[in-house]
Structure 1
Amino acid sequence: MLPIIVTAAILREGETVLITRRPLQSKHGGLWEFPGGKLDPNETPQEGLRRELREELGIDSEVGDIFEVVYFRYPQTPVLILAYECRHLDGVIQNIEVSEHRWVPVTELHRYDILPADAPIIARLQR
């Protein structure tokens, strides 16, 4: 089975990084993750990530270099996560398609119930 390609944003503010919580009614509801999501047809990963940040959080962003690539197999389907360094350009962060967001010190990410697929990204951030 081919993996679903998803993107994730590494948005930093000082020593903190932005994580978002999935709405309870969604798949993996209540878990925390790095913002991002699935690509639409004919969309580059960078375009998709910018779109997802607008849809989920109401912000415009600049997508920079790739930070990490993660392959993870959930019981239903495998995912390939392309995590990019991003910079918040404009807009106030809103909880549009997420239940909440937090700026969390990298050293405290382990205290959150985060999607298992995001664990390698956290490990890289903490190195």
Structure 2
Amino acid sequence: MSLTQIIKFPTHSDERGSLIALEGNDMIPFDIKRVYYIFGTQSGVSRGFHAHVHLKQVAVCVAGKCKMRLDNGREQEEIWLDSPDKGLLIEGLIWREMHEFSPDCVLMVFASESYDESDYIRNYTEFLRQAGL
């Protein structure tokens, strides 16, 4: 089973430009409780380095690009998020890291729950323990 679950968003385009509409429980496969975005990441800076116990997320680069590294404790996969019509579904107990942000990168994340620090696993050894490895 692949760690990278890509959702291709339908794009509506005409002479005026393009539009993508996202709704919870439709193109985003859960109720959206929180949306945040990361931008202005300095060259050479990586982010993430955590997992969630239950939280589901869909990450979309609405501008620029970044490399996502996903890890379930047994295998790792990397994927470039480089198009606003491509979303990456990340479910619970997946370690995630973001690398190689382009200067213009805006990474938007749709989350299934509101912020809850107790859902974060910020230590890789603890992540492996909770993943049963």
Do the two structures share a fold, i.e. TM-score over 0.5? no
- TM-score (norm. length: structure 2): 0.28
Structure possessing the higher radius of gyration over alpha carbons = 2
**Structure with greater helix share of residues:** 1
